[in-house]
Structure 1
Amino acid sequence: MQFQIGDMVTRASYQMDIMFRIIRIDETDQHEATAILHGNEVRLIADAKMSDLVLIQKEEQLTREKDDERKINESLDLLRQDYQLLREKQEYYTSGQYQHQEQYFHMPGKVLHLDGDASYLKKCLDVYERIGVPVYGVHCHEKKMPSVIDSLLDQYRPDILVITGHDAYSKQKGGVNDIGAYRHSRHFVETVQKARKKIPHLDQLVIFAGACQSHFESLIQAGANFASSPSRVNIHALDPVYIVAKISFTPFVDRINVWDVLRNTLTREKGLGGIETKGVLRVGMPYKKDHEST
């Protein structure tokens, strides 16, 4: 069967568990071409011989995408519930615990989201918009991230930095603790290190870093507040968004319990982890509508 770039496929040798899209076809092998694959729902990069690929029919693709959308909406509902509780609590304390008629405005933390996958970046930006997180999105290949992070931080001055894309662990290249056995973990680590050199304080710039199967320990040691993947499992394309939203909507006077962040993600503690971190939301008053005079 002839496959083309952009086709949605699964791998027969892995029981057709993950839906991929073909991003490149390598024909240097004289015997059989190799397809380079990006996960459609998980941040995994893989390769497979063409004979191992199974084309996903449109009906099955729609079924998988509907199931994924259901999971996304469940996580978004949890995020909205959390945000509403945080908002009520913060307004209660900001008002001095007295009832009055003043209205408040909220300033969620600004996000710089650096992503190695343009289609994933678009998905993430759509969700950020749906839940009201201010964000700047930049598509950049993982290998180039260390060289551009300084200028991007100067340009956007974010409260939260996301460094993600695709990654994968290969046991043929080394042991699980050998960062050289990972596709892009070392690039993520170097990017985090450069960001931390510029902004050392863990609560001044909150960093999420990593993708599927990334070297979690190295990312945390480099200075990330949250990272993937403690159990070297795949993470969902939108998992970074859920973590960032929780941080963005938590008041700066509060510390975030790590489990409270992870429980809204689709991968949870096997795929994601982190350290205790302050929120970045600020509340002000009075709120002025656009049509009111200043």
Structure 2
Amino acid sequence: MSIDVMLPYYGDVEHFKKAVESVLVQSYTDFRLIVVDDGFPDPEPARYMGELTAADSRVTYEQNEVNLGANGNYRKCLGMVEAQTVVVMGADDIMLPNYLQAVHDGFAAQPDAAVFECGVAVIDENGAGAHSLADVVKAWQSPVSGADGRKVLGGEELMVSLMRGNWTYFPSLAWNAEWIKRIGFREGLDVVQDLALLVDTVSAGGTIVIDPALAFLYRRHSASDSSVRALDGRRFAEESRFFAGEAKAFSERGWNKAARAARGHVTSRLNAATLLPTALKAGKLREGGPTLLRHIFR
């Protein structure tokens, strides 16, 4: 089974190099690595990738002439997929050497699954273990944590858990290419595009196969796009619109438990509450405070 590792890139150069290197040392070797640089204003990524593409035929590098933004670059990456399995990796995350083998084994055991999720550990910008409140809540809610061997989830039960709190780490997910290319990323979303893709996949009947074995390191740091958007309120304005729309769709479908979970979006609201002191300290309270408060109490 071949695997396409798509790496949409814009950001820290050294983190990017570590992400690329983690792919190249995988124990499972039947993969392509496709880096799509969204016009990052630094010549180093192009120089670095030029050396790699010359040395390894599995590696491809392309630089966008204009910046497409996260959503646009993700959708471009999907249009380049050829393998039957695809990973859309973060440009600052780390695959452990067993990751692609775990992906292969998971889909071999459950060939009809749409998505694969493995055990994930969180690191900070310096590579040290991170234990933010968001990650503690994810671990508490996640069916991956404490799981005994592989399991498969789907339907309204899975949707309820995702609406209560998105316990997945999107860059660690592997996808049946037929599913992700058919469903695709919704246009107009910059923060919850990953959750929207999962919601659309589960709504269409897709399932997730979970292997709790640790295989991926997710990097969380204050300079991330979602962190910046959270402090000035843009993240939660988008989330509010998203959850309201999903609650309506679930009600019309008869998934009443999922609709209640979407209306409550408890974890999202708690996350907004924890950011109020941070927004005050960063001088963002006047700008983002009203949006944060509306998200918490409505």
Query: TM-score interval w.r.t. the shorter chain?
Result: under 0.3
- TM-score of the two chains, using structure 1 as the length reference: 0.26
Structure whose CA Rg is larger: 1
- TM-score of the two chains, using structure 2 as the length reference: 0.26
Structure with a larger share of its residues in helix:
2
